[in-house]
Amino acid sequence: MNEIETAPSGEWQDVAARDQLDPDFPLGVEVNGQPIGLYLLGDQVHAIEDVCPHAEALLSQGFVENGVVECPLHGAQFDIATGKCLVEIGERDVRCFPVRVVDGRVSIKIVPV
Ligand code: FES
């Protein structure tokens, strides 16, 4: 997992090069202590909370298919674009974070809840 230097919450935070992203292999990063998974779906980059609500496995180490990530530990599934929990064992939806890609760099914004 890449640890990213901290930035004030609510500001765009550079997290990765767009070229680092692979549709089959999410990239886990940590921003301000928050583990986040970066996913490439088509041309779109998505960022979702990376810790599974069930038992804290990293979703970015899971299996990705058809816009859904499956937790590597017990099989919870989450919609990557919306964070929606699709299998009850996942317990709740995961947070999604705003993403922008500028000049080949991916930035996300962590908005306080
Ligand atoms: S830790 Fe993800 S389903 Fe159990």
For ligand 1, atom 1: residue with the closest CA: 55
Amino acid 10: pLDDT: 76
Domain that residue 54 falls in = 2-109
> How many domains is the chain built from?
1
Percent with pLDDT over 70 in the chain: 92
Ligand 1 centroid distance, CA of 89 (Å): 7
Q: How far is the CA of 52 from the centre of ligand 1 (A)?
A: 6
Q: Whose CA is nearest to atom 4 of ligand 1?
A: 74
Considering all CA atoms of the chain, what is the largest pairwise distance in Å, rounded to the nearest integer?
Answer: 39
- Tens-digit pLDDT profile for residues 56-86: 999 999 999 999 999 999 999 999 999 999 9
CATH of the domain at 8: 2.102.10.10
Q: Decide if 95 contacts 48 (C-beta within 8 A).
A: yes
Residues 75-90 as b or e (16 or more Cβ within 10 Å = b): ebbbbbeebebeeeeb
